[in-house]
Chains A and B, each alone.
Chain A
Amino acid sequence: MTKVARDEVLRIAYLSRIALKDDEIRRMAKELDEVVTYAHRVCDIAAEVTAKVHKNINVFREDMIISDDAEAIQAQAPESAEHFFVVPAVLETNE
């Protein structure tokens, strides 16, 4: 039985912000299914693992601004104006 249905592929594609064409959805469903079916075997031994997962320790630094050259970075933007990166409208309009 497949684990990954078409609707799920579309949902994951949305989360991934990747637009898939129809033939790509079919192919992706199959490929995802193979990998997640294989990956599911972690459940086999996970139940037997009694050791606690190590807690990571955080590393802090002083809360100081360390700035880079903003102009050099912004110069590479596909489209920019003043200090802003320009993008299309967030919401569709009727224009």
Chain B
Amino acid sequence: MKINPFATIKELKNQISDNEISSNELLEFCIKRFERYDEKIGSALEIFEKDSIEQQSCKQGMLFGIPGLIKDNIAQKDRRLGCASKILEGFVSPYDSTASSCLKKEGAFLIGRGNCDEFAMGTSGETSAYKKTANPWDLSRVAGGSSSGPIAAVAAGFVPWGLGSETGGSVRLPAAFCGIVGLKPTYGLISRYGLVAYGSSLDQIGVATRTVSDNATVLSVLAGQDLHDSTSLAVNKKDYTQALDGKLREGLSIGVVDNALEAQGLDPEIKKIVQEAIKQLEDLGATIVHLTLPAMEYTAAAYFIISRAEAASNLARFDGVRYGMRAKDARTLLELYENTRHDGFGDEVQRRIMVGNYVLSAGHQDEYYGNAKKVQQAIRREFEEAFKNVDLLAMPTHSIPAFKFDAFKDNKLALDLLDYYTLPVNLAGIPALSIPCGFTYNKLPVGFQLIGPHLSEELIYQTAYAYEQQTPWHTMHPKGFE
């Protein structure tokens, strides 16, 4: 039986339950896809041995027999956990993250470790200590980051789902660059237990798939309260695919953020394509309301400060003492710390730790961190006010399409500012879904995002599904990976 590499989870589940293919055959097929094509893409740091994958998972469940790729900053028991960094060389996780554990209990096959920007710090997928990840639509361009590996693997048809993580847009941005669906859930909806911390008040595991329905299926496995994570919300497990009927909710209103569409630096092609997507939602029955979110202009600055302050604290544990790499020939403990961290962390990670310690240091804390928290309040307040008048918001996910490797080599600030559209959502802790909405003239994917208030994932999925079913984007796949 021929397996379609771009089949949905739904289709594959049906094929397995109808005995057209076995879970063993599907796993073999996916492993071979990586062997055949991943040298071009660089999406996986490791693909596990086949028997060991099958042995770890239950023999039934919502995702029985469905392989997926998990970002290298999410713990899988007895597997390497590296965050794509030299400083964790050799480290094997002694436990499963809650996300990994939930997936195994529902029968999913965790096929390997997905490449990413080192410690999830990046926008392009170029800062992994091991290799860069290419965009399956154009191999001379980045996949986007930081969850570059899992997203590229899903887009190229190696696996039907991937897990990434978001602190500032690191699932939605690569999803948009690679033409697939990427969710950042409400803060606290998916347990962070076993997700290596970057910015703890912002981090969330995110889901990448080729279709909206698949995304909702995977979220159904992951979402729910976890006592190991005291920031996880008291939400019961539920089926997020229930409301996917292909129609918009009666009386749905969608806010279009005008200052986002008029932002300097937004590619005119992306603007036009996103406006067409919004028009289609209107044609489907949504009421479109125009509004502005002035605090968006300050969210990048606030995000830089808050995320880097938290990162400086979270990454202090990587010191060569208890695990991972240790610098040789250190004469004192201080030398051990300083040399290990200099040799083990890449440039971008070192830069962010330094910025974090700068903004928290005596004399600067109120000026930077204190004020950044105020700006965070302002953006949260603006979203709350907006959602009193509209059900959802729509805006582009990205300002420019996937760019060439090294395009921002000498301009790191400009690279960081590419997260302009994704950052406000992370600061506010609300959910957002990026969905493909077209292609540029150069055949590069374009994505737009639907943003909702806390715990509105079902409404977001329902709306996105209705749009998706009226458009061809989810049926289009990159060439060269047949």
Contact = CB atoms under 8 A, between A and B. Distances in A.
Interface of A: 4, 8-9, 11-13, 15-20, 28, 31-32, 34-36, 38-46, 49, 51-54, 59, 61, 68-69, 72-73, 76-79, 85, 87-92
Interface string B276-300: 0000000000000000000100101
Interface in B328-362: 330-339, 341-342, 345, 350-351, 353-355, 357-359, 361
B6 interface: no
B227 interface: yes
Contacts of B325: 78
A32 B354 contact: yes
A32 B375 contact: no
A7 B17 CA distance: 66
A45 B214 CA distance: 41
Contacts of A53: 373-374, 377
Contacts of B455: none
5 contacts: A18-B353, A28-B351, A36-B355, A77-B322, A89-B331
A40 B331 contact: no
Nearest to B373: A53
B350 A38 contact: no
Given A40-B368, A78-B320, A78-B325, 19 more contacts: A13-B354, A15-B361, A16-B312, A16-B353, A16-B354, A18-B353, A35-B304, A40-B301, A42-B368, A42-B375, A46-B371, A52-B377, A53-B373, A54-B377, A68-B95, A73-B322, A79-B326, A88-B336, A90-B332
Nearest to A11: B361
Contacts of B408: none
B48 interface: no
Contacts of A77: 321-323
A49 to B, nearest CB: 4
A12 B412 contact: no
Nearest to B340: A17
A49 B377 contact: yes
Interface in B80-107: 90-92, 94-95
B180 to A, nearest CB: 31
B166 interface: no
Contact of B330 (A16, A35, A88): A88
A22 B408 CA distance: 24
A89 B333 contact: yes
Nearest to A20: B342
B457 interface: no
B1 interface: no
Contacts of A92: 331-332
Most chain B CB within 10 A, of A13, A44, A46, is at: A46
A32 B358 contact: yes
B94 to A, nearest CB: 5
Nearest to A86: B321
B231 interface: yes
Interface of B: 90-92, 94-95, 227, 230-231, 295, 298, 300-302, 304-305, 312, 316, 319-326, 330-339, 341-342, 345, 350-351, 353-355, 357-359, 361, 367-368, 370-375, 377-378, 380-381, 412-413, 416
B230 A59 contact: yes
A35 B311 CA distance: 15
A35 B460 CA distance: 34
Which 5 pairs show the lowest CB-CB distances between chains A and B? A46-B371, A19-B338, A78-B326, A59-B230, A17-B337
Nearest to B232: A59
A68 B316 contact: no
Contact of B374 (A35, A46, A79): A46
A15 B316 CA distance: 10
B298 A45 contact: yes
Nearest to B368: A39
Given A42-B305, A68-B94, A92-B332, A51 B381 contact: yes
B332 A88 contact: yes
Contacts of A79: 326
A82 to B, nearest CB: 15
Nearest to B370: A46
Given A20-B342, A35-B413, A91 B332 contact: yes
B371 A43 contact: yes
A87 B333 contact: yes
Contact of B355 (A18, A32, A46, A51): A32
B320 A31 contact: no
A28 B351 CA distance: 7
